[in-house]
Structure 1
C-alpha cells in the first residue's frame, strides 16, 4: 500500500512538471525615457495574470499557457502601452517597453469632492492636481506656497514665510476646507497667525477643488477644498525602503530635514516619517531682518494599511509641534530698525522700545514672545466590498493646542491658551449600479469642544459644537456625456454657557472665572445656543468631445455656518494683534456658483479656460472699526479693532492656462497661466454712505500672470537624468479694487518677481538613484514688494517714515537647495 501511494505521488508530480514545462514565460524591462520604471504594472489583458516590475524595471511572468496575448504596461504619470505577444511552449519570450510621460491629466483619478474614485475627465467640478515632483520643483518654506505657485486661482494670506492661509478665488479662512488624507483639518482655522499644521515633506499629492464642495463635505467647503494626501511609496515585498531629505534656504537660514521609511509584507504596508525645520528671521532689502518671524517645527507621522479581497483598512497618526515667533512691527521712527517689547501696560511705550540686536535677528533661538501650536491626529478609514456595492467608513480624533506667549515680564504665562478637541466621522454606502446609475448615500460631520486654559486673554468663549449632514450623490454616463449631481442637508448646533473674566491677583492680569464665584468679574460672553440649517447641492456635466478635448459645466449651491469668531468673539487675539468683535445674529452663508470649463490636452499644447460666477447671501467679512469722528477704535492699546460685517456679495473671474510643449522640440516647455477674480460688496446702502469705499470685498488677490520657460535635457547620461532648467516670471498687477472703508485695506502697487531653478537626478553605476537635487532662486533681483495679502503690510505705528514706506515688505531674494536620498 505504501509503495502504491508513493508511485501515485510520483506520477502526479511528473505530470505537473511536464505540464508546467509545456507553458512559457514572459520577461523584460520597463523604462521611462532612460530611467528604469520601478513598480510599474504588467498585465495580460483579459486574464488574472499580472505582476509589477522591480526597482530596476525588470519583470517576469511565469507559467503562461502558449498562445497570443495582449500585454499592458502602465505606471502612474505615464501613458499606457499595449503590445501583442506570442507565448510558445517551454520558451522564454522577451518583451521590454519604454513608456512616455503623460502630460495630460484628464485620465488621472481623484478622490476629493466625489463619492468614489473618479477620473478627472468625468468630474464636472473644477479640480487641479499637483504631484510630489511638481511640489518639489516649487521649492518653498511651506506647502501652501508651493500650491499657490502650481494652481491658478489659489492665493494665500501670509504672516512671514512659514504662515500661509489658503484662499481659493478670493475666499478663505473657514470657507476653504483643508483635508489631510481625506480627513478634515480642525485647528482654529479662523486665526490669521498660524499655518495649516501639516508636514510639507510628507505630502505625495495635492488635489484642489475650486468651487463649492458642500455636497460632500458640508459647511466650510463653500469656496473649495485642498486635500493633501500623504505619500505611500511603492516597494517590493519584504524590502525596507526610505528616503532622507535635506532642505536649506539662504534668506532666513531655514534648515529642513526629513526621514521617511516604508515597508511592505504581503498585503500589509507600513510608513513612517520624522521631520524637523528651523529658521531665523527673514529679510528684505528695505526692512533688513524682520524681527520675530523665525520658527521651529517638528512632525511625526505613521501609517499602517492592509489591502485584501474584501477591501482595505488603514490606521494613521500624526504629531505637529511648532514654535512660531509673533511679529508686531514696532521700530525706531528714524532708523526704522526693529524694536522689542520688554514691558507691559502703561510701562510699555511702543514708540520708545529698545532696539533688537543683530545677533537676535540672526539667532535660531525662539524669542520669548512666540506662539506654540501643537496638533495631534489619530484616524482610520477603510472600505468593505459587498458584491456590487461597498461601504466606506472614516473616523478621526484630533486635538489642537494653541498657546500664545505675549507677556515679556512673565514669559511662561500664555496670553491665549485654547484646546480644541474634534471627533470626525464619515460613512458612505456606494449602492450597486442600477440602469447605469452609480449612486452614493452618506452621512458625515464632527463633534467639537473648545476650552481656554490658564490664559489672560479670551477672544472666544468655551463652546461645544455638533455637526451632522446627510447627502445623496449620483452619476450616469450617456456615451460621451457624464452627468452627476446630488443634494445635501446639514445641521450644526453650537452652544456655550456664560463665560466670566475677572482679575487674577497672582499675576495682575485677568483669568476665566467659573460660576458661582463670579464676584467682581465681567460677563464677557453671555450664554448662547443656536442651530444652523442648510441645504446644498450640485448638478454638472462633462462632454468628452474627444480623447483630448473636454467641456465642463457645473452649478452648485454652497453652505457655511458662521464660525466661532464671527458670532462669538469679544476680545484680544494676542498673536494677531487684533481685538475681534463678533455678531451672534449672523445667518449662514449660502452661495450659488456657476462654472464653465474648456480643457484641451493637444499634441503640442495644453489649453485650459475656466470661468466662474459666484453670488453669496449673508457674506461675512471683517472690517476695521472707527468711531464717529473717523478715528480708529482702540480697546487694547497697540492693537487694532475689527468688527465682523454681513452683506450680499458677488465674485466672478477666470483662470486660463496655456502650456506649449512642441513635439519637435521635446526639450522645451513654455507654461503660462492667468488668474483673475473680482469681489463686489452688494450692500448698496453701505457703499453709498461710504462714498464707494465699501464697494469691493477685502482679501481679493490682483490679476496674477505666471510664465515658466523650462528646458528638459533629452540626452540623459549614465550619471545624470531628468535634468531641467527653468526661468519663471510671477507678475502681479496693482490692486486698486480693495475694501477702503475705515482704512481696512489700502491700494497695493503691482510687481514682478523673476525666479530661476534647476534640478537633476544622480544615478550610481548600477542605475540606482543616488539622489535628486532641486535648486531654486526666488526673487532673483531682490525686489522689495508688498503683497496685498501680506498681513505685515499693515504692521505700522507711524503716519510717516524717512524712507517713505509703511509696513513690512515680503521676503527678499531666497536661494534654496533641496536634496533627496532614496535608499
Structure 2
C-alpha cells in the first residue's frame, strides 16, 4: 500500500500554475523536401508522444520548463534527436528534415544516468529494439539479446538461462525491469531472471562497471528492459502476436491494448508460453527441459506540465523443468506439462516512476515493491514433494534532483535505498536462511563540456549495506555490514561528425550475497560451504572505444581491462563430507578479465546489408587458474536482403547468417574444454495489407543444418547432453486501431 499512497500524494500535490509551452513544426524528406506523414515524435522525459499528420505537421503541448529531448523516428529514415531549451512561456517552432538510412546511428537512452543520446555517454550503451526480439527465433528473453557482442548466456535448457556480460554473471550483473532491480535469487546459474520479451520498447545494455548509478552487483554490467511507449496522444492501439516453434512444439502468444489522451495514458498486456522438451541435433529429446509461463503487465499514468506520474504492475508465473539426474527416471516421454522436478516461480512487481518539474529543476521520485516466491517441486519418492518454498520481499526507493542544465552542463544528486526480507515457508530445505538486507546510498553525477568537441562525465557514490541472517542447525547466524565507494570518470571526443572516441575509468563493487556467506549443504547437486568472512569484491576497469559511421558503413571497436580484487568464486576443496561428497568452498582471490569487441555494418547496396561482429575474452585468477563461465570467443555474421515494396508486400526481407564459436581450451577447475562449432541461421519475412488490416509475418530457422554441439556455458554439458537442434519459428503480428 505504501506505493499507492506515494503515487496519489505525488499526483494530487498542490501545485502552482505552470507555463503552457508548445513545440510544433513540420517534418520533411531531406532530399525531396516532401512532407512526411505519420512520423513518430516522442519525448522520453515525459513518456509522451504524437505523430505528424497527413501534411507532416506535429504539435506538442503542455510542456515544462528546462531542457527536453525530442526524438523523430520513421521507418527507412535515420532517427533525429533534438534538444530544446524552454526558459519561459512561449511557443517554439521546430522544423525537421529526415535523411533516408538503413542504419540507426544513435537513439535516446536513459541507463547512463540522464536522458541523453548514445554518443553523449562515456559509457557505451548498446540498444536492442523490442521489435527485433521476436524475429530472432529465440525462446527466451536472454537468448534474444546474445547477438550483442560481449553478451552471452549460461543455460540449462532453453528456459533456465542467465545473461553473461564480458565474462561476469549471476550477482555480478544487474537486470532492471523498467529501472527496477530484479531480485530473483540470482546467485545460482539454476535461477533465471523472471522476465519475458513481451511489451518491450527496447533493451539498453551497459557493458562494464556501473555501480556509480546502480550500486552493488553492477560490476559486470547492466541490462535495462524498458516498457513499450504509450500510444500517441488521441489513439487507442492494440496488437496480437503469436509464435510457433517447431523443435519444442512451442506456443507463444501475447495480446496488448494501450491508449492515451493529452492527460492520461494506460495499457495492459497478457502473454503465455508453452514448450515441450527440446530435441538435439540427433533428434533425441533432452528430458525435462520443458517450460510454461503466463504473464500480465499493466500501467496507468498522467502527464501534466508540472510532472509525469506512472504506476506499473507486472506478474510472471513461469514453471521451469530441471534437467537433472534425479528427474530422468520420471520423464519417460517428451511432454509439455510440468509434473516432476521443476521450479514453480511467481513474481509480482508494483512500481511507480514519477517526475516533478519545479521551475528549471526536475525531481525524480521512484519506488517499487517486489514479491518473489520460489518453489522447488520434486517427485513422489521424496519425503516432501515440495522441497523448497521461499519468499523474497523487496521495497526499493530512489529520489534524484536534476539541477538546471544547459547545452554544456548536467548535474544530478540522489539517494537510493532498499529493504529485502527473505522468509522460508513450510518446506524442509532452506535454500537460504531467513534474512534481512538493508541498503542506502548517496550519489552525485555530472556531465559537462570541457571543449567544443570534448565532453566529460564523472560521479561518486557511497553505499552502505547491512546483512542479518538467522541461525539454523547447519549454519550460524551472520550479522555484518559493508560500506563501499564507487566512482567513474569518462570522456567522449568527436573528432568529426563521423568519428567518435570514448574513454571511461570506473571502480565498482559487489558485496557477498547471502549464499556465499552462509551456504552449508547440498545445492545444485554438490555440497557447498559459504564463508562469513568474505569481503566486498571490487572492480577497476578501463574502457576504450571508437565509433565511425557514414551512409554505407558503421564500425564500433572497443577494448577493456578489468582488474578484480577479492574476486568471489567457488571451487572444489580437498575436504569431503561424511557421505564422501567433495566440499565446494567459497573463497576470494584477485583476478583479471581482458577482452574486446568489434562490430561492422556495411550497406553496399540499398537492398543489401552485411553485419559481422567478434567478441574476445580471457579471464584468469592471479595464480593462473582460469575463471568459470568465460564464454567461447564468437564470430557472428549475417547478410540481409530487403525491399520496401514487392507487389502487395511491404518491408520484405530475407536474411542468412550464423555463429562460429571458437574452441574454449581455458576451462576453470571444475570445467572441461569445449570444442568449436558453427551454426547457420536463415529468416524471411514481410507485411501485407488485407482490407486495410496490416499483417506482419516471418519465419526464422536457427541451427538450420541441425548441428549436434555443446556450448561451453551449457550446464547440461556435464551430463553429456547437447544443445538444441534445428528450430523453425513462425511469427505473426497483427496491429490494430480502436
Q: What is the TM-score with the length of structure 1 in the denominator?
A: 0.79
Q: Please, which of 689, 695, 705 is the counterpart of residue 763 of structure 1?
A: 689
Question: Offset at 1:577?
Answer: 2.8
Aligned partners of 1:209, 1:369: CA distance in 2, in Å?
35
Check the 8 A contact 2:129/2:201 in 1, yes or no. Answer: yes
Q: Does 1:780 align with 2:704?
A: yes
Check the 8 A contact 1:112/1:227 in 2, yes or no. Answer: yes
Question: Offset at 1:306?
Answer: 1.6
Secondary structure of 1:327 counterpart: coil
Question: Offset at 1:130?
Answer: 0.7
Q: Cα deviations across residues 415-473 of structure 1 (Å, max 9, x unaligned)?
A: 11110000011111112248943211111121000011111212321110001111111
Q: Does 1:652 align with 2:648?
A: no
Aligned partners of 1:756, 1:51: CA distance in 2, in Å?
36
Partner of 1:726: 655
Q: Does 1:793 align with 2:735?
A: no
Q: Does 1:558 align with 2:508?
A: yes
Partner of 2:165: 168
Distance change (3 Å), C-alpha of 1:80 and 1:130: closer
Secondary structure of 1:661 counterpart: strand
Partner of 2:629: 699
Q: Please, which of 608, 618, 625 is the counterpart of residue 556 of structure 2?
A: 608
Partner of 2:236: 240
Q: Does 1:340 align with 2:329?
A: yes
Q: Does 1:586 align with 2:534?
A: yes
CA RMSD of aligned residues (A): 2.8
Question: Offset at 1:199?
Answer: 2.4
Check the 8 A contact 2:384/2:428 in 1, yes or no. Answer: no
Q: Cα deviations across residues 354-406 of structure 1 (Å, max 9, x unaligned)?
A: xx43xx31x22212321101000100011111122111011000000000012
Q: Cα deviations across residues 621-676 of structure 1 (Å, max 9, x unaligned)?
A: 1223454xxxxx46779x875322210000011000111112xx111111000000
Aligned partners of 1:323, 1:636: CA distance in 2, in Å?
32
Check the 8 A contact 1:778/1:813 in 2, yes or no. Answer: yes
Question: Offset at 1:527?
Answer: 1.5
Check the 8 A contact 1:468/1:492 in 2, yes or no. Answer: yes
Partner of 1:512: none
Q: Cα deviations across residues 592-618 of structure 1 (Å, max 9, x unaligned)?
A: 000000101122211110000000000
Q: Cα deviations across residues 694-747 of structure 1 (Å, max 9, x unaligned)?
A: x21111112110011111124x045211111111120100000111x3xx1000
Q: Cα deviations across residues 187-232 of structure 1 (Å, max 9, x unaligned)?
A: 1111222321112122220000000000011101011100001112
Aligned partners of 1:388, 1:427: CA distance in 2, in Å?
17
Partner of 2:226: 229
Partner of 2:392: 420
Distance change (3 Å), C-alpha of 1:100 and 1:51: same
Bigger Rg, which one:
1
Question: Offset at 1:810?
Answer: 0.6
Q: Please, which of 281, 291, 297 is the counterpart of residue 301 of structure 1?
A: 297
Aligned partners of 2:325, 2:337: CA distance in 1, in Å?
19
Partner of 2:124: 126
Partner of 1:450: 422
Question: Offset at 1:100?
Answer: 2.0
Q: Please, which of 463, 481, 488 is the counterpart of residue 461 of structure 2?
A: 488
Check the 8 A contact 1:593/1:613 in 2, yes or no. Answer: yes
Question: Offset at 1:104?
Answer: 3.7
Question: Offset at 1:31?
Answer: 12
Check the 8 A contact 2:130/2:197 in 1, yes or no. Answer: no
Question: Offset at 1:311?
Answer: 2.1
Aligned partners of 1:371, 1:81: CA distance in 2, in Å?
45
Question: Offset at 1:97?
Answer: 8.0
Partner of 1:5: none
Distance change (3 Å), C-alpha of 1:436 and 1:339: closer
Structure 2 counterparts to residues 215-614 of structure 1, below 5 A: 215-237=212-234, 239-286=235-282, 288-329=284-325, 339-341=328-330, 356-357=331-332, 360-361=333-334, 363-409=335-381, 413-433=385-405, 436-477=408-449, 478-499=451-472, 523-573=473-523, 576-614=524-562
Q: Please, which of 660, 663, 678 is the counterpart of residue 752 of structure 1?
A: 678
Aligned partners of 1:656, 1:81: CA distance in 2, in Å?
25
Distance change (3 Å), C-alpha of 1:32 and 1:791: farther
Q: Please, which of 804, 809, 813 is the counterpart of residue 722 of structure 2?
A: 809
Question: Offset at 1:572?
Answer: 2.7
Aligned partners of 1:562, 1:73: CA distance in 2, in Å?
41
Partner of 1:678: 618
Secondary structure of 1:794 counterpart: helix
**Relative to structure 2, which stretch is displaced further, 312-321 or 406-415?**
406-415
Aligned partners of 2:414, 2:142: CA distance in 1, in Å?
30
Q: What is the TM-score with the length of structure 2 in the denominator?
A: 0.87
Check the 8 A contact 2:696/2:734 in 1, yes or no. Answer: yes
Aligned partners of 2:568, 2:119: CA distance in 1, in Å?
34
Runs (4 or more) in structure 1 with deviation over 4 Å come to 25-37, 57-62, 95-99, 633-637
Partner of 1:201: 198
**Number of residue pairs matched by the alignment:** 682
